[in-house]
């Protein structure tokens, strides 16, 4: 199976879109999307310097636009799976058919502006923690009041939070770990971004979402998402929730992905996949950065693509477990209670910490299918809503 990956913030480079503007229709498309995003995507992708494209408000729509432009020149009908890192999830959602391209670019513009505004409220930042025992790294983060904003696999956890906490972490790093401060505006994917999440939710509520036409992995837990409304809810929630790219890569391996194309600006996700999924069965990878790379990407899709597997069927009336662990229902919810779509009904706590369990649809809570501290597996039914599905 062939996977197409959409990169996130930090992967951009000055002028990386310049060669793409030689293709017919690309500049006109970028100018249309610029009007939707509220930034000049043509300038940002061609003439802007590194400092200008480091601005969160500009970078996020630029990255989504770049991924979508490149994907238009690929035979996406043969691609079985898509995933994106952080803001790259908006591009992936569009490639999965959940969002129109215009909606993805518009939401990226809102997301970037609102996250930049949230960063300005107080001094926060991020740092990559390379190496060390994962449990010890997480304990050190907690001790300094920091959050694991990104868990990227391959021995990399990104810490985020107050500048003072990051300075203490750098002064007292976990054993066998190296700390690298990241040049970002603030603590993305943490509670510090709550104002941005609220603002994005207000805009996303007006978006019409379709169910995915191919497998779409979620940064929340690495699991495929089968329903359009649930995808949009997760995209909004991801502003303050950690990026679990490690779990996305685990799903790539578990689903038997043999080929990977990373969309421009490519390299970061390809590097993580190479370091994590190595040895026998490692996927063949193409990084797509310029139109000159298109023949290699198309050839890879021809070798590893083909029949697109059906994404998981939406289970509107049964809530399933997103992870392995012990299930704990919300104590106040009894059978017969009226649930609303997106409402938290419990948590599954495993080795990676608690994961929210939410209702995908509205209706009466007909039956608990798992109870307090029951061990559950990913995909196991937990709650029945309404009828007898």
Please tell me the total number of residues recorded for the chain in this structure.
Answer: 389
Task: Specify whether the CB–CB gap between 256 and 216 falls below 8 A.
Answer: no
Task: Specify whether the CB–CB gap between 308 and 214 falls below 8 A.
Answer: yes
Is the preceding peptide bond at 265 cis, omega within 30 degrees of 0?
Answer: yes
Helix, strand, coil abundance in the chain, percent, nearest 5: 40, 20, 40
Rounded to 5 degrees, φ, ψ at 287 are -95, 120
The active-site residue out of 86, 218, 251, 321 is 86
Residue (of 118, 167, 130) closest to 145 by Cα position: 167
The rounded distance, in Å, linking the Cα atoms of 130 and 159 is: 10
The rounded distance, in Å, linking the Cα atoms of 333 and 358 is: 13
3-class SS at 372? coil
Residue (of 148, 145, 123, 126) closest to 137 by Cα position: 148
Task: Specify whether the CB–CB gap between 1 and 80 falls below 8 A.
Answer: yes
Helix (H) / strand (E) containing 258: none
How distant is the alpha carbon of residue 292 from its chain centre?
27
Task: Specify whether the CB–CB gap between 96 and 212 falls below 8 A.
Answer: yes
Could you confirm whether 189 is annotated as catalytic? yes
The active-site residue out of 189, 227, 347, 360 is 189
Rounded to 5 degrees, φ, ψ at 117 are -65, -40
**β-sheet bridge partners, residue 384:** 318, 367
**β-sheet bridge partners, residue 367:** 384
Could you confirm whether 86 is annotated as catalytic? yes
Q: Where are the alpha helices (DSSP H) in the chain?
A: 26-37, 41-46, 56-71, 88-95, 101-119, 134-143, 163-171, 194-204, 228-237, 245-254, 268-276, 294-304
> Tokens representing 117?
């505004």
The catalytic residue positions are 86, 189
């Amino acid at each position: 199976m062939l996977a197409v990956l959409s990169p996130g913030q930090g992967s951009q480079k000055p002028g990386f879109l310049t060669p793409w503007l030689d293709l017919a229709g690309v500049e006109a498309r970028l100018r249309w999307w610029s009007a939707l995003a509220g930034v000049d995507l043509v300038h940002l992708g061609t003439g802007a310097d590194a400092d200008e494209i480091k601005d969160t408000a500009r970078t996020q729509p630029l990255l989504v636009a770049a991924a979508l432009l490149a994907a238009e020149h690929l035979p996406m009908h043969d691609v079985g799976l898509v995933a994106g890192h952080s803001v790259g999830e908006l591009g992936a959602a569009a490639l999965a058919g959940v969002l129109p391209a215009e909606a993805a670019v518009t939401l990226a513009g809102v997301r970037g502006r609102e996250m930049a505004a949230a960063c300005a409220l107080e001094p926060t930042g991020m740092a990559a923690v390379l190496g060390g025992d994962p449990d010890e790294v997480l304990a050190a983060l907690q001790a300094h009041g920091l959050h694991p904003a990104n868990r990227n696999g391959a021995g990399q956890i990104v810490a985020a939070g107050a500048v003072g906490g990051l300075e203490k972490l750098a002064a007292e790093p976990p054993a066998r770990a190296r700390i690298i401060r990241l040049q970002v505006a603030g603590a993305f994917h943490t509670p510090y971004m709550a104002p941005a999440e609220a603002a994005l939710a207000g805009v996303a509520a007006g978006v019409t979402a379709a169910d995915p036409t191919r497998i779409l992995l979620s940064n929340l837990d690495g699991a495929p998402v089968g329903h359009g409304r649930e995808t949009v809810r997760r995209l909004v929630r991801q502003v303050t929730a950690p990026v679990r790219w490690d779990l996305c890569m685990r799903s790539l391996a578990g689903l038997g992905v043999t080929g990977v194309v990373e969309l421009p600006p490519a390299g970061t996700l390809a590097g993580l996949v190479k370091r994590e999924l190595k040895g026998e069965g490692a996927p063949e990878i193409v990084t797509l950065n310029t139109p000159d790379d298109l023949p290699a990407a198309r050839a890879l899709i021809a070798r590893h693509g083909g029949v697109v597997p059906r994404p998981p069927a939406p289970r509107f009336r049964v809530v399933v477990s997103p992870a392995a662990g012990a299930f704990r229902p919300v104590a106040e919810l009894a059978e017969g209670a009226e649930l609303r779509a997106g409402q938290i009904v419990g948590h599954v706590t495993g080795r990676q910490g608690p994961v929210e369990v939410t209702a995908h649809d509205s209706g009466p809570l007909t039956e608990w299918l798992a109870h307090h501290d029951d061990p559950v597996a990913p995909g196991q039914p937990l709650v029945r809503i309404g009828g007898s599905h």
